[in-house]
Structure 1
């Protein structure tokens, strides 16, 4: 195999070339830059993504003006002569609309394989390690979500009043949950006082934690809905603690090696169902028809295949010059990403959305 330092230098040069070439592909929307990529499945995914982006940009009058990619090596292993490299690719892209610009970021993870070809290394395959749809089905199974009808349960369950929101950013677990039922300072005021949804605080929280987990919460493999719930909670939305995973909207974390949170807190489809249901108190939302009707701190839900099962959620954190939402998200960590997700490998022609405007008072 030769000297390890020499191999490392060769490998780094190929990684640099691969990342540079992909950066040019995304900036110029040119499939010609894919010449030499022998992983044809990945080539098809990229071509499909470029087509969808081109259609969006033509419709919206958007122009990509700058693109930068930074790759962090997370793992290297040599398996039967193939060098497998796990990369975290941080993409920073600037777009222009009406002579005004905005910058979006996302961090995607890929496994790039290299094999020897004579004296050189060449790319043998590219595998996307995480996309917004890849893990959703497995996550639903792991959570063992039961599709119960909440309205029927509300008729028979004795539901505690919602908890008011403490400072959620630091020391969350120890302050809010010293034990079930003894957080009286945060209970709904019996005289009917309501809290406001503080949209600026939602955005501040979403910006702070978009690319790293808040240690006050569990970090899930599929973390999009957990992240969105944290953002909503940071904005003043009260938890509705029921002690039942299929009912309410609440989080307690890991206690005695057991998971304690509601499906609606952590599972995309369950949060969508919760926001769809009318209620007189607690976290409530209005389903609006168009994305431009949303405000900061509102929620978008994504049904990738159009089959009624929603597998991803995002939080609105900014707007384009034309007033279209830009969103933050987790699983694939994203900041100020255009709301329609046409740049995602998860997106299909069948993708459907729900747009939820969170109420201003709880």
Structure 2
């Protein structure tokens, strides 16, 4: 079937839809969200805003049309994986090279996997707009919301992600050109902070590693949200289906039962594990255990391993007699539903990103969910991310079946 395109532009948002329709994969019913002791919600969703003064509306249409063209081409590239058409609207040679290398890598990988994209839908929300007084220069922060439907060896499934980019545009006569593009690579950001905190925990992972040699306390479990489980320390079954269902429910928004972190990937993974009945190891010390009690009295009441990828990697790598524990395996094809992958982008043993396995492709390879850069049923190796490098290493964790 010949792919079709349909474009619609509204205030503050550009929407592009492309591709042939394909039957979708049935959605898993989400499980109720557990609320840990002391948790509460924070923050509100960012919305699109534009400042349009008298006489600006007509002139704004020029740069909006340039953004619209960019999103349309971006959506096309999600199907054919070619960057050549972007040269007509983008003057940023560095980004064209970076983008072209990414697409070439993905095109080769998808051919080797036998994967055929059949449909792509991309919407771009304007999160922030800065216009010069004469509108000769404009910068915009956009969120690209991509949903691709693919056919893989006779099976059809959808993968979704949300990327952010900052675009700079300049007027050249009556037309606007995109002079610079900066992808926002949140997966590589080393800092973490809640909505209440601006300070970094740069040495949190080292503290967590050192603390693993200390005796572990009795795990803290909030039995109010786990009424069907006994209070014994042993024999708690890891509900992989519940962990994956929670991951699918909250992949693109924050659960108000928990604090929202500036870099939220590991906080989200910990929530998924807890939703699958993994018991917390409550020590009351941030550098040890794996636990969360929320923000209260001006204090951050959670362990570093709950919120920092490198600290969670250290915690899962260490032996434990109780609470959450895992086994390191050699390859992605050894993982099961609800297992965890942690990413070292630079190959320097500094792990910066976490994902959870929520589905599998036709070859049995993991598809993962993540947060910070919201992703659902994304291929596990993350070669579609600007965070990925030739030196990227992975740590694969098979979560114990019982705790």
Normalised by the length of structure 2, the TM-score is 0.80
Aligned length: 340
Q: Is this contact kept in 2: 1:222–1:331, CA < 8 A?
A: yes
Instruction: Give the corresponding residue for 1:4.
Output: 56
Give the aligned partner of residue 182 of structure 1: none
1:225 and 2:266 matched: yes
Range with greater deviation from structure 2 (116-125 or 212-221): 116-125
Deviation string, structure 1 residues 20-61 (Cα, Å, up to 9, x no partner) = 011112311112122121112221221221122123213322
Q: What secondary structure sits across from 2:200 in the alignment?
A: helix
- Counterpart of 2:231? 189
**CA contact under 8 A between 2:368 and 2:380: conserved in structure 1?**
yes
What residue in structure 1 maps to residue 50 of structure 2? none
Residue 153 of structure 1 aligns to a residue in which SS?
coil
List alignment gaps of at least 5 residues for structure 2: 1-52, 194-198
| Change in 2 beyond 3 A, CA 1:193/1:305 | closer
Change (3 A) 1:27 1:162: same
Query: Which residue of structure 2 lines up, in the alignment, with residue 153 of structure 1?
Result: 214
Structure with bigger helix share is 1
How much has 1:188 moved relative to structure 2?
8.1
Per-residue CA deviations over 1:138-195 (Å, capped at 9, x if unaligned) read: 34981143414234322xxxx4311235466xxxxxxx9xxxxxxxx999835x5421
Which residue number in structure 1 is paired with residue 311 of structure 2?
270
> Which of these residues, 239, 246, 249, is aligned with residue 287 of structure 2?
246
For structure 1, the 5+ residue unaligned runs are 169-175, 177-184
Change (3 A) 1:48 1:139: farther
Shift of 1:96: 1.7
Please say if residues 333 and 366 of structure 2, whose CA atoms lie closer than 8 Å, have aligned partners that are also in contact. yes
What is aligned with 2:221? 164
Which is further off, 349-358 or 76-85?
Answer: 76-85
TM-score, reference length from structure 1:
0.88
The corresponding residue for 1:326 is: 367
Residues 166 and 7 from structure 1, CA distance in 2 versus in 1: closer, same or farther, beyond 3 angstroms? farther
Q: Any conservation in 2 of the 1:325–1:339 contact (CA below 8 Å)?
A: yes
In structure 2, what is the equivalent of residue 18 of structure 1? 70
Cα deviation for residue 79 of structure 1 reads 4.2
**Pairwise CA RMSD:** 2.2
Separation in 2 of the partners of 1:165 and 1:189? 10
- Structure-2 change in CA distance of 1:151 and 1:263 (3 Å): closer
Counterpart CA distance in 2 for 1:25 and 1:7 is 29
